[in-house]
């Protein structure tokens, strides 16, 4: 299971929110590059970088931070927040993103998001399936859609999506543990649909690569997520609040 620390950006600073509420913003470091370099120094290879300003304004804003981290570290970055147009996507990849995460657009403009999967390939496009009570949330979690989480994920599996980041918003930033049952349910239903042919190409779908996010609070939760079958896990506040040390993560990575 891949370990993927998170850096969330507001006004160019490294922050964390609770349950996606911008009013709960807490600044942890004014220099995201410094944080990213510390991750890399502990053997971490991946980074989840979120433009919270972009998510709120509905277009990419903090691409300068992305470019800085991408050019000054070797971290493989998945970038999300405010990616709504082909131009937003172009900027993200030109600034060094290895993958992008699309959440709101996958709900509100399915045609464009589906085209991105075909144009860039399933290795480059991550489905952001963030939910509250198993309903997908959009616009920086400011809105709840009518999309049911499991059918939503399955519909994009049929279109070739392989990577899915799922955050249970009720858990995010609360340090109360992740949604183990929800992830079990997603993996179980995705394995049922994984043998379905993709409509456009006729290919057989690959097993869903589920990335757990939200609520991680202790190191002991990581092996449990791996046992469930999560391909990766995103860790945010637990690192910043010293609930999980970078040394623990380094040892976990080295032990695999």
More reliable by pLDDT, 172 or 238 = 238
Residue carrying structure tokens 């002991």: 220
pLDDT at 211: 98
Q: For 115-124, what is each residue's pLDDT tens digit?
A: 999 999 999 9
What's the predicted TM-score (pTM) here?
A: 0.90
Q: For the residues of 133-177, what is the DSSP string, one character each?
A: TTEEEETTTTEEEEEEHHHHHHHHHTTT--EEEEEBTTTTTS-S-
Q: Does 139 score more than 60 pLDDT?
A: no
SS3 73: coil
pLDDT of residue 15: 95
Question: Who contacts 11 (Cβ-Cβ below 8 Å, separation ≥6)?
Answer: 53
181-190 residue pLDDT tens: 999 999 999 8
Q: How does residue 251 score in pLDDT terms, banded at 50, 70 and 90?
A: very high
Query: What confidence category does residue 169 fall into, taking pLDDT thresholds of 50, 70 and 90?
Result: confident
Q: Per this entry, what is the length of the chain? A: 256
Reply yes or no on whether the pLDDT at 197 is more than 60: no
Mean pLDDT of the chain: 90
At 206, is the pLDDT very low, low, confident or very high (cuts 50, 70, 90)?
low
The pLDDT of 137-156, averaged and rounded, is 78
**CA of 117: how far to CAs of 88, 106, 111, 155, 240, in Å?**
15, 11, 10, 13, 33
Q: Which domains does the chain have, with CATH numbers?
A: 2-255 (3.20.20.70)
Catalytic residue among 53, 78, 88, 130: 130
Q: How confident is the model at residue 153 (pLDDT cuts 50, 70, 90)?
A: very high
Q: Catalytic annotation on 8?
A: yes
Q: Tokens 């972009």 appear where?
A: 54
Q: Please write the tens of the pLDDT for every residue from 34-86.
A: 999 999 999 999 999 999 999 888 899 999 999 999 999 999 999 999 999 99
pLDDT score recorded for residue 175: 81
- Evaluate whether 245 touches 15 at the Cβ level (below 8 Å): no
**Catalytic hit among 8, 51, 168, 172:** 8
Query: Is 219 or 206 the better-scoring residue by pLDDT?
Result: 219
Query: How confident is the model over 73-100, as pLDDT tens digits?
Result: 999 999 999 999 999 999 999 999 999 9
3-state secondary structure of 63: helix
pLDDT at 196: 46
Q: Is the pLDDT of residue 191 over 90?
A: no
């Amino acid at each position: 299971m891949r370990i993927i620390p998170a850096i969330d950006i507001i006004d160019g600073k490294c922050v964390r929110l609770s349950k996606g509420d911008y009013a709960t913003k807490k600044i942890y470091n004014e220099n995201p590059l410094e944080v990213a370099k510390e991750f890399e120094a502990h053997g971490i290879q991946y980074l989840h970088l979120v433009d919270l300003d972009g998510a709120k304004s509905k277009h990419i804003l903090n691409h300068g931070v992305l470019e800085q981290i991408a050019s000054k570290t070797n971290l493989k970055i998945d970038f999300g927040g405010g990616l709504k147009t082909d131009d937003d996507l172009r900027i993200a990849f030109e600034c060094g993103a290895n993958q992008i995460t699309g959440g709101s657009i996958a709900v509100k403009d399915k045609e464009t998001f589906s085209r991105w999967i075909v144009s860039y390939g399933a290795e480059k496009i991550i489905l952001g399936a963030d939910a509250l009570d198993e309903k997908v949330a959009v616009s920086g979690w400011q809105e709840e859609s009518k999309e049911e989480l499991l059918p939503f994920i399955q519909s994009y599996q049929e279109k070739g999506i392989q990577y899915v980041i799922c955050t249970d918003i009720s858990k995010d930033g609360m340090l109360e543990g992740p949604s183990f049952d929800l992830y079990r349910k997603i993996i179980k239903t995705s394995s049922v649909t994984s043998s379905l042919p993709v409509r456009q190409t006729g290919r057989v779908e690959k097993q869903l690569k589920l990335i757990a996010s939200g609520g991680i609070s202790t190191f002991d939760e990581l092996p449990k997520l791996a046992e469930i079958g999560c391909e990766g896990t995103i860790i945010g506040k637990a690192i910043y609040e010293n609930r999980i040390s970078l040394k623990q993560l380094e040892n976990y990575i080295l032990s695999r």
